[in-house]
Amino acid sequence: MERLQKILANADVASRRASGEIIKEGRVTVNGKIIREPGAKFNSFACEIRVDGQLIHVHDKKIYIMLNKPKGYISTVYDPQGRRTILDLVPPMGVRLFPVGRLDQDTEGLLLLTNDGDATHVLTHPKFEIYKTYLAVVKGVPGEDRLDLLRDGVRLPSGHTSSPAVVRLIKASGSCALVEIKIGEGRKRQVREMFDIIGHPVTSLTRTRLGELVMGDLEVGSWRHLTQAEESWIQRMAARSGEGITSCKKIL
Ligand code: URA
């Protein structure tokens, strides 16, 4: 038995969050009955599930693509303004792929694309503390006292205090420095905001690692399927998706 929201996401109807909205809007029927509870559990292989009257096709095939996103592409699957999106960089895979988290338009680096809603949830939700590693070129050369502020956590413009980061100065030249930063969260523009706060704005940002996934020498603009070892890691992570759910409403 699986949550209806998850069944829809796995059938590529929409992302997990959007699927929840579709259900709440009363657009989903299970065996002819409208269900408005995203957490309602069903056996997707034994039920007839329709969205706006259309039968959904349940499949299990999970695809995982590692992309080295170039600057200038946005991390969505569709842009109403017609800007270039990450999907312009990968061929059609026969399933609906979603990015795992976002990279800013002007950020490069490792972006995972998948149709696995559980993996996306675990890799992006801060409670699972999956570390993301970035290389930042910053203005000026931050001293250890400034980097300590990032290690301790700084108050972001949103009011949230960042969790402790692992930070190391890799290289310094007169007017700029290369810093590696590892964080367990992924708030919008978080790394840029953190460096702004310590007075060393980022001029270039690249994500090099997501948990156990390492970008290595994958060229900018290129993609590859994950290796078997990487997929096993992802699937172990995806299995943690239900953690923290303490009650499930039974609808049928
Ligand atoms: N932090 C940022 O500031 N930008 C990104 O793209 C990712 C993390």
- pLDDT, tens only, 64-102: 999 999 999 999 988 899 999 999 999 988 788 999 999
Above 80 in pLDDT, residue 230?
yes
189 lines ligand 1 (CB under 6 A): yes
pLDDT, greater one: 242 or 82: 82
Please list the residue range(s) of the chain that carry CATH number 3.10.290.10: 2-60
Where does residue 29 rank: exposed (0-12), middle (13-18), buried (19+ CB within 10 A)? middle
205 lines ligand 1 (CB under 6 A): yes
pLDDT, greater one: 126 or 215: 215
pLDDT, greater one: 3 or 196: 196
2.40.50.1020, 3.40.50.11810, 3.30.70.580, 3.40.50.300: CATH of 64-126+212-238: 3.30.70.580
Q: What is the mean pLDDT of the chain?
A: 91
| Percentage of the chain exceeding pLDDT 70 | 96
Helix axes 190-197, 144-152, angle to 10 degrees: 130
- How confident is the model over 39-52, as a mean pLDDT? 87
Please list the residue range(s) of the chain that carry CATH number 3.30.70.580: 64-126+212-238
75 lines ligand 1 (CB under 6 A): no
Where does residue 49 rank: exposed (0-12), middle (13-18), buried (19+ CB within 10 A)? buried
pLDDT recorded at residue 163 = 94
- Smallest CA-to-CA distance from 8 within 46, 47, 44 is with 44
Tell the CATH topology of 2-60: 3.10.290
Q: Which residue's structure tokens are 């290389």?
A: 135
Which of 117-121, 129-133, 157-161 is predicted least confidently? 117-121
Which of 21-30, 38-47, 78-87, 147-156 is predicted least confidently? 38-47
What does the H/E/C string look like for 50-119? EECCEECCCCCCCCEEEEEECCCCECCCCCCCCCCEHHHHCCCCCCCCEECCCCCCCEEEEEEEECCHHH
132 lines ligand 1 (CB under 6 A): no
- Smallest CA-to-CA distance from 57 within 117, 13, 119 is with 13
pTM above 0.95, yes or no: no
CA 81 vs. chain centroid, Å, equals 22
What homologous superfamily does CATH list for 131-210? Alpha-L RNA-binding motif (3.30.70.1560)
- How confident is the model over 202-227, as a mean pLDDT? 97
Above 90 in pLDDT, residue 215?
yes
Q: How far is the CA of 16 from the centre of ligand 1 (A)?
A: 22
- Asked if 65 contacts 114 with a C-beta cutoff of 8 angstroms, the reply is yes
Per the annotation, the verdict on 52 as an active-site residue is no
Q: What phi and psi values does residue 134 have, to the nearest 5 degrees?
A: -130, 150
Kindly report the number of other CB atoms within 10 A of residue 182's CB atom.
15
Above 50 in pLDDT, residue 249?
no
pLDDT band with cut points at 50, 70 and 90 for residue 168: very high
Distance CA 54, CA 238 (A): 28
The closest-lying atom of ligand 1 relative to the alpha carbon of residue 193 is: 3
Above 50 in pLDDT, residue 251?
no
pLDDT recorded at residue 247 = 35
Tokens of 98: 């979603």
Above 60 in pLDDT, residue 227?
yes
